[in-house]
Amino acid sequence: MATRNVALTETRDQQIHARVASVQHQCESEAMRAGLRMLESGEARLAGIRPAPRAEDGPGKIARWTIE
């Protein structure tokens, strides 16, 4: 497994330590991996609800305007 060094804010560091102390995760690495899985899952859900571009929509139209 790869090893990384990351910089965390004091708040994030406390959150990770709290999760390990409460036995939600066995170690800090597991807590970080869980966070990344949640991020990935959320991004996948967002991708699923975004409408796909339709071919019939074609390119956008450009309109010229001026401020009077």
Task: Dump pLDDT digits (tens) for 9-42.
Answer: 999 999 999 999 999 999 999 999 999 999 999 9
> Nearest 5°: CA angle at 18, between 14 and 20?
120
Residue pair 34/25 in contact (Cβ under 8 Å)? The answer is yes
Residue reference for tokens 């708040």: 11
Can you read off the two tokens belonging to residue 63?
């309109």
Average pLDDT of the chain to the nearest whole number: 86
Residue pair 46/39 in contact (Cβ under 8 Å)? The answer is no
- Is residue 63 a part of any domain in this protein? no
- Is residue 18 a part of any domain in this protein? yes
Q: Of 25 and 54, which is predicted with more confidence? A: 25
- Is residue 41 a part of any domain in this protein? yes
Q: Which domain holds residue 14?
A: 10-49
Residue 67: predicted pLDDT: 77
- Is residue 39 a part of any domain in this protein? yes
Our count of domains for the chain comes to 1
Give the C-alpha distances (Å, rounded to integers) separating 2 from 29, 44, 62.
11, 24, 49
- Is residue 62 a part of any domain in this protein? no
0.85 exceeded by pTM: no
